[in-house]
Structure 1
Amino acid sequence: MVLQIAVKRLKAMSAKAEMEFAVEVEILGRVRHKNLLGLRGFYASREERLIVYDYMPNYSLITHLHGQLAADCLLDWPRRMSIAIGAAEGLGYLHHEANPHIIHRDIKASNVLLDANFQAKVADFGFAKLIPDGVTHMTTRVKGTLGYLAPEYAMWGKVSESCDVYSFGILLLEIISAKKPLEKLPGGVKRDIVQWITPYVQKGAFDRIVDPRLKGKFDRAELKSAVMVALKCTDSNPENRPSILEVVEWLKGSVGRRRKEMTNIEHMLEEDGDKETDTDLEGFRMAKSEVRRKWAR
């Protein structure tokens, strides 16, 4: 069996590029998780810097949402939810299991790669920050991608795990809608994806949010739950945002509930009247201690 690899090569040997190379190699050497891109090795000489990864045959998420594979619509609704959950689980490992904890700082569609089974692999750790024990946030130089940056980070350089949660919320809306995080309107005005989505949520018009290329083939209860999770992640106040562990539980709970209902027709009919109105808030009050116990097993 032939092993396929991918090689990342620095284009220029600048101080900035060398720093990002060193950070990425250090981070990748520390982490092992099914939803994080695996490091195969690296090479550093006087004039060359290479990082060797596992090859991802389905490229990046951005390729399917906005790039050369967008028209093929290979991401059906179940795959989209699986990718979102996988990316969140990768972040959960960085935030709560890695020692010291790690803030990614550049969560976006191009940094979520997809393996042969469309399993998400969070990649590109050049901007990542190691967080010492007991430290809740740091002030640092702003790095990342416009449209995904949390307000407190973009304006004041205050970085914390909740900044990654915000970025993930934007990514989740992007996965659902296939809309870009920032959209240029006539007159040069820019509108972010949260501004675009909010009026539809207020009207309860969730069907207007989902990617039209799905042609109505999606679960409406899961859609509503996922949108509400994304809006909680993108709250302008970082103290109101959930932890990524809570996000994982909510998304998995929503998908799990629907799968159970689909395999039990009687149960679905009995609960149908209640679930349509309560889905957006179900499970959102799960205690943090309970969530952490589940992740600790």
Structure 2
Amino acid sequence: MILKKINTAILLSLVVFAISSDKAFALSIQLAQEQQGQPPIKTRLEVRQKNMDDRKEVRGEMRNEIMGERGEVRKEIREMRASTSIEVKGIRADMKDARKELGEERKEMRDEMKEKRGDLKMPIQLRRASSTDMFKKINTEGKDLIKKMKKDDFETRKKALLNQLNISLENLSAIKTRINDRILKLELEGRDTTDAKSALAIADDKLAKAKTAVETLSNLPAPTPNSGTASSTEVDLTKPRQVGDAAIKAVKEARDSYKKVIDIIAKSMGLGDKPASSTPATN
């Protein structure tokens, strides 16, 4: 029993010593910090409580700021909705006015068209008479224009054909001159030119006939309508075609005749069956 009491007293002494030593150590540190100008060290509980209070204060401030911002946003949204509603109402009113104006314009157009239709409603006989005269005038002018076009077309084609035929005649005349020179040279060489001269005489005669046919075509007047009525637009082209075909045929016959003369000259020179040329060779 006495031993147990002694142990208890010893434990109490140790606890008191530990507490007093902790306080003494803390007191010594606090005194040292006060001497160095530093604040005293707080216990862990006080520090934890202080941190919790600080966090709570920060959260409260953030909550107040967020609530304030939300309120401002809601206010702006309400104002925007109100202004948008006013604008939509204005647009609808403008559209309504535009539809009204469009309807009035359509009505005016319908009334104007009715007036024009009324002005066009003249007596049937008067309309028929004026239309008949107008169509007669147009028909007469159209037929006169067609006649002029056909006459101009004939003159244009005749001019083109005459130009081509005259060029052919000029070429044949040049060939005739060169053939005469060639025959004269062959005679000087002592060659027989009897057949060549006979063929040349035939070709010269055909050339003269071709020139006469082309001249006849050149002097041919423009064709006239078939019937004696002035309303007819049909033009008789039988004679112009016949005269034109005759001139073309005469020029072709003259050309073929000179080709035969060239072939005869080639044979007399010993050229055999070589292809003949429309232009004789010259030395």
Query: TM over 0.5: same fold?
Result: no
Q: Quick check: which one's helix share is greater?
A: 2
Q: Quick check: which one's strand share is greater?
A: 1
- For the superposition of Structure 1 and Structure 2, which TM-score range results when normalised by the shorter chain? under 0.3
Larger Rg: 2
The TM-score normalised by the length of structure 1 is 0.20
